[in-house]
Amino acid sequence: MAVAALLLRLPFLGESLWADELHTAWVVADDAQTIPLRAAMGNQSPLYFFGVWTWLQAVGMHQWSLRLPSLIAGIFAVGLVTAVSHRWSKDAWIALGIGLLAAMDNDWIFFATEARTYTLVQWVAILQVLLAWDASQNDRTSAWIGLVALSLTNFYLHYTTILFTTCVGIAILICASDRTIRKHFALASIGLLLGIGISVPHLMTIFERRSNWAQFISATSSNEWYRWETVFAMLLPAGIASVIAWFRHETNITSIDRRRFVFLILVVLLPITIAWLTTATGVAALFFGRYLFSAETCVLILLASMMTLLPGRWIGRAAIVLALLICCVYRLPTQWQTMRGEEWPTIVNAVSQNIEAMDTPPEIVIAAGLIETDFLRTKHANEAPWDDYARLPIESIYHLPEAAKKRFGLTYTNSGEPTPRYLEESTPESVVIMIVRGNKAKANQVATRFRDALPDRHYQIKTPKPQASGVQWRILVPHLGDN
């Protein structure tokens, strides 16, 4: 399974980093002391970035080295799900089938080839659930300690995992076999809350900016609903077989298998339900695949648990074959060359060649489509290096010649309108090279808005070649004689 997972992920490792990954590259590009602030600017905890920074000190910054930690964690996650499936089902074919589902799934592949924290969260979440189940049934001290440690690790890998951890806790309370276990759960919860407490000020700051998330997260998102419809579709064959077997009284289900099934149902459904409710009510926009990837991962663990509810191995194997067919139709990557669609190297190289051919260095303006860049228009613009943040796609692994010293970021809202810093530091006679994250129409819109906001400069907008998927550039040449 590890080899299969690796082969299915290799085609995407050479793809250009996209904006979220470029935030990772920017965070780890300089000294370790800069990591906490830069991570916080992107609403992230620094833990993951410290790990990546340490790794890069040994091998250097490359696309593959930025993505390798995620790749390794993602492959381990496939192996772990396969091992758990074999332990519960006692059937190698069923285990291999579930492992293949994990290896083939579009989301598992995407996050395993992305320089972000999500496959590390995934791997820890699997261990977290296994220890939570053990603690809820066997009340081992080591399981409680491990559960608290893993829950804290996941929280500091990504703050949104607090939702998943809370739901795991609810599942423990419901499925605990006696009152003593619930008391030990309360003690473990106190330890967990103490570990989380030191981050409350930062969490409150992020929560105050929750309206930012609502701009791209919706409770009615067709993409999110499609995700969950197709994920749960893989459970249908096993679910239908279980119901038929139950009505025909053909099952011999043990109480432990039944409790484990209920436990995993809660672990999977509670986070999704709560995230949808908080999004629909405007409390916090959490109904988003990235924020629910731990729950999505546990769907395959739930499938492994369902295998123990079926009356025979061949029925279980047939259910897995049907799940694989569903996965092939709905859950495979739609393209095997690109999943992200942002070709930054092509544009950065083209802009660099243009800069080197110019007698006078141009001004660089970039619209990276990062929501947090709206700080550039507020009184908080100088409280953190927000202009650097706005330019992060061209300030780390992909970078322009040093000759182009005047570089300016643009905001997310009304992108194209010059920022106060640009108005203060720019010169009317300078050529402007504008880089826009988006398609041709978006780039034209941003360039036109920029030109119209500076009517005294009379820019002519040119569209040079080459252009690229997901990233465009324009040259704005001033007509000084028209002033």
- 434-465 per-position pLDDT tens digit: 999 999 999 999 999 999 999 999 999 999 99
Q: What angle do CA 37, 115, 127 make, to 5 degrees?
A: 95
Going 425 to 431 to 436 to 442, the CA torsion angle's sign is positive
Packing angle, helices 222-233 and 293-307, rounded to 10 = 20
Packing angle, helices 63-89 and 19-27, rounded to 10 = 110
Considering only CA atoms, which of 425, 378, 386, 428 is closest in space to residue 406? 425
- Which SS3 state, helix, strand or coil, does residue 405 take? coil
Both structure tokens of 154? 């996941």
The whole-angstrom separation of Cα 319 and Cα 310 is: 10
Output the pLDDT for position 481.
Answer: 59
- Name the stretches of the chain with pLDDT < 70: 250, 480-483
Longest dimension (CA), the chain: 90
Convert 385-403 into a string of H (helix), E (strand) and C (coil). Answer: CHHHHHCHHHECCCECCCC
pTM recorded for the entire structure = 0.94
Which element (helix H / strand E) includes 462? strand 459-462
Both structure tokens of 295? 């729950």
DSSP letters along 299-342, please? HHHHHHHHHTTSS-HHHHHHHHHHHHHHHHHHTS-S-SS-SS--
How many Cβ atoms from other residues are within 10 Å of residue 36's Cβ?
16
The whole-angstrom separation of Cα 234 and Cα 483 is: 65
How many Cβ atoms from other residues are within 10 Å of residue 124's Cβ?
24
**How buried is residue 466: exposed, middle or buried, by Cβ count under 10 Å (0-12/13-18/19+)?**
exposed
Q: How many residues are there in the chain?
A: 483
CB-based contact 359:409 (threshold 8 Å): no
* pLDDT, tens only, 404-421: 999 999 999 999 999 999
Considering only CA atoms, which of 422, 431, 421 is closest in space to residue 458? 431
Output the pLDDT for position 345.
Answer: 96
Both structure tokens of 96? 């291999």
Output the pLDDT for position 480.
Answer: 66
Packing angle, helices 236-247 and 293-307, rounded to 10 = 40
CB-based contact 279:219 (threshold 8 Å): yes
Strand-by-strand arrangement of the 363-367 sheet: 407-409, 363-367, 432-437, 471-478, 459-462
For residue 466, whether the previous peptide bond is cis, meaning omega lies within 30 degrees of 0, is yes
